[in-house]
Structure 1
Amino acid sequence: MAVKEPKPTINDVARIAGVSKKTVSRVINNSPLLNTATREKVEAVIAELGYVPNPQARALALRRNFLIGLIHDNPNAQTVLSVQEGMLDAMKGTEFALVVRPVDRKSPRLLSDIRHFIEQQRLYGVYVLPPVSENEDFACLCKELGCHYVRMGSARLDDEAHLVESNDREAVRDAVTYLIGLGHQRIAHLAGPAGFRSAYEREQGLREALTAAGLDLPEAGFARGNYTFESGYQAAQALLRAEPRPTAIFVANDEMAAGALHVAREMGIDVPQDLSIVGFDDTPIAAHIWPPLTTVRWPIRAMAKAAAHKLIRPDQAAEQTAFFRSEFVIRASTAPAAS
């Protein structure tokens, strides 16, 4: 019976590389405190021996588990799913795993709940979605706990090592300018929930485009939802009963835009001949509904993947991309305004 060769240990790597065990540990843990030559020498020995670090031992040494937390208070399930997919893309082939934690941003226990989550799971890092990411106390808490963090934002919230951001205001301004170019002058807005920076930035982009064209947004042309289909359905009813009726609606996300499209169909309003609708996100629903939805493609999956990379390699986080540009996607839900 063949005798199994003993698995190489960290002591073997240190002896052959001619360095201390602590230096090997620093290489394994991606410490920035090493010069390139030492790192490459140790990595070569690890590869030659086929040494595989013990994740439990590493977690014990770091006083952290190899877990990345996703913290959110987001009513849109598709957004959360896309974020998870992006983060898992980055984690393939690593020893990191994802833990998802929904929270209530309005709870007086918000920060204590997040503290308990980070401490109980011994998280290596956390990625937090809006609007929780807009809470400065959250960032301070992570720094206090020594937990790596990345915030998602529709505007600049932090330094590049701790942020992935999109250009929501500019993207919406361009989308509404496109509607104006089609001859639309009565453009309504179905906004996202109050307290969300994304909703604010998108509303401001719309208002800036209207102002530049000498147009206004009447009170009857503004309604608010909470990023769900149901809220979009309810809010669109008021917008489409207004007199004069809008010829176009910019909706702050695709789920609500689908609700608005449903209302238009019920009221016998043809989209896009009588009403143009533009959404935001470019989630799968945008291409699957009829007519397919003109929308702003929000690179949410790419942002989440980048955020996870920043958390996995925090020593390189500042060097990685923080800014992600949205893209306008024209489909069949928009057309020139009826004369």
Structure 2
Amino acid sequence: MSDTSPSASPTRSTGRPTIRDVSRLAGVSFKTVSRVINDQQYVSAEKRERVLAIMAEIGFQPSQAARALAGHRSHQIALICDNPNPWYVYEVQAGVRERCGRDNVRMIAQPYDRATPALLDAIVALIDQAHPDGLVLAPPACDDARVIAELERRRIPFVRLQPGGPIDGVPATSIDNDQAAFDMTSHLLALGHMRIGFVVGDRSYASSDQRLSGHLRALEQAGIGPDPDLVRQGMFDFASGKAAADAMLDLPHPPTAIFAASDDIAAGVLVAAHRRGIAVPAMLSVAGFDDAPLAQVVWPPLTTIRQPVRNLAIAAADLLLAPGDTVERRLDHSLIVRESTAPPPAA
């Protein structure tokens, strides 16, 4: 016996088919159709087949509203992202959007502005208004204790992209920034460089300290003690790279190589060298981090660390949309050697 009595034979409805058309033509309740749409239990095989057949016959496509009503889901996830590098932001958004597209889920991008006192209020408003099924937290939001505490209090699923601290059971995706910086510094040491400058990224990003740690570890392993004059603070941008390079190149004993914590910083280092008539890499080797498109258009093209930003974002969205036993996914980085590094000039 069906849930309701059909009021019409299974023929195509006029106008755009609705969930109520499916209910009427299949002779089942609205709730039964909703369960079929959301692939839920408590629907017999016969009724499920009947509903699917009617949906195919009349060309019914479940709307996001219908899915949300039936399964208490919005079929939307929110990305909280902030980075001074437009390329990085684009790659993260593209990765999350690509993975969402496979499940017909919408991505909502919310800027993360640490400077605004209303930051937490803005994220809470997003949750209350859009009701996302979960969130992807990109750096530095992934380490914001206020945001994490609020999401945990509301029991909203979230994934951390490149977190700086322990994951504590929260799903996360990352590369090993410490090891990546260790690999680059080891490459410069293998070329024969003994005085290697390092420009640190924005310290509000955990990756900055991780990369500095890897750099110093490689020096220590090579028997080279830290030199405060050869570590300069940057902000993941061109201007800070140029300023840091100018300061190091003004030293009585300047470095023969400078490793920058991002390609944007490295571009500033290159300009500082070019303006002084310092040939790269004959007189100064320069290395970056990211392998952004910029790395191949500056001169000379940058030796850099390639981090798979888009794949990290895809993996983060996948952990949110298809959760399983895996809590952390760590992706591999690559050392990309180009023309900006070479052995130091002979003494």
* TM category, shorter: 0.7 to 0.9
Specify which of 335, 342, 347 is matched with residue 328 of structure 1: 335
State the secondary structure of the residue aligned to 2:288: strand
Aligned position for 2:52: 46
Q: Say whether the 8 Å CA contact 1:157–1:163 is kept in structure 2.
A: no
Distance 1:24 1:321 in 2: 36
Aligned position for 1:337: 344
Specify which of 244, 247, 267 is matched with residue 253 of structure 2: 244
Q: Cα 1:210–1:60, aligned 2, differ >3 Å: closer, same or farther?
A: same
Q: Say whether the 8 Å CA contact 2:259–2:287 is kept in structure 1.
A: yes
Distance 1:283 1:14 in 2: 55
Q: Deviations over 1:107-140 (max 9, x none)?
A: 4433222112221222222211111211233223
Say whether 1:103 aligns with 2:109.
no
Q: Deviations over 1:94-113 (max 9, x none)?
A: 43222222222244433222
Q: Say whether the 8 Å CA contact 1:154–1:168 is kept in structure 2.
A: no
Q: Within 5 Å, give how 1:1-339 maps onto structure 2.
A: 5-6=12-13, 7=17, 9=19, 25=34, 28-29=37-38, 42=48, 46=52, 49-50=55-56, 51-153=60-162, 155=164, 157-158=166-167, 162-311=171-320, 313-314=321-322, 316-319=323-326, 322-339=329-346
Q: Cα 1:148–1:66, aligned 2, differ >3 Å: closer, same or farther?
A: same
Distance 2:187 2:283 in 1: 17
Q: Deviations over 1:264-309 (max 9, x none)?
A: 1111111111111111101100111111101000111001112222
Letter in 1 for 2:259: F
In structure 2, the gaps of 5 or more residues are: 1-9
Letter in 1 for 2:226: L
Q: Cα 1:8–1:215, aligned 2, differ >3 Å: closer, same or farther?
A: same
Identity %: 35
Q: Say whether the 8 Å CA contact 2:36–2:51 is kept in structure 1.
A: no
In structure 1, the gaps of 5 or more residues are: none
Q: Cα 1:301–1:10, aligned 2, differ >3 Å: closer, same or farther?
A: farther
Shift of 1:46: 3.1
Q: Deviations over 1:53-83 (max 9, x none)?
A: 2221222345553332221232222211111
Q: CA RMSD in A?
A: 3.2
Q: Which has the higher contact order (CA 8 A, sep 6+)?
A: 1
Distance 1:296 1:208 in 2: 17
Q: Say whether the 8 Å CA contact 2:236–2:264 is kept in structure 1.
A: yes
Q: Cα 1:307–1:19, aligned 2, differ >3 Å: closer, same or farther?
A: farther
Q: Cα 1:251–1:26, aligned 2, differ >3 Å: closer, same or farther?
A: farther
Aligned residues: 331
State the secondary structure of the residue aligned to 1:139: helix
Distance 1:47 1:294 in 2: 57
